[in-house]
Amino acid sequence: MSAKPDNRIHHLNLYRRYFELVAAGQKTVEVRVKYPHLAQLAAGDRIQFHVKDTDEACDVEVLRVTEYAGFEALLDGERPERVNPASSREQQLANIRAIYGAEKEALGALAIEIKLV
């Protein structure tokens, strides 16, 4: 019987405004499309978030990953202030959809509960 592998470390980019919220411990739920490379993301994994084209990084632990059919369902299932405490639910939905088009939302949405390490 083999030993459990070490928790995985994933490297993901964030826009600066979201990175700052994560680094300050204010953003505790990250929203992502259910891309194949994120299908195995699980509680206990680590994510190192990067601001694209900089050396800035922030490490978090994944506490929970919950799949939703789309972004509206995700915001209904999660407390929107945990996704982005600086924006209303309506503004968050618009921002998320500006980042991910309808064809990507159709893949499903992931709510990734995180905590700073």
Dihedral sign computed on CA atoms, order 95, 60, 43, 2? positive
pLDDT above 60 for 1? no
Task: Compute how many other C-beta atoms are within 10 angstroms of the C-beta atom of residue 64.
Answer: 11
Number of H helices, E strands in the chain: 5, 5
pLDDT above 50 for 3? no
| DSSP code, position 6 | P
Q: Where are the domains of the chain?
A: 9-116
Note the pLDDT tens digit of each residue in 18-76.
Answer: 999 999 999 999 999 999 999 899 999 999 999 989 999 999 999 999 999 999 999 99
Class of CATH domain 9-116:
mainly beta
Predicted pLDDT of residue 4: 44
CB 24 within 8 A of CB 60: no
The pTM assigned to this predicted structure is 0.92
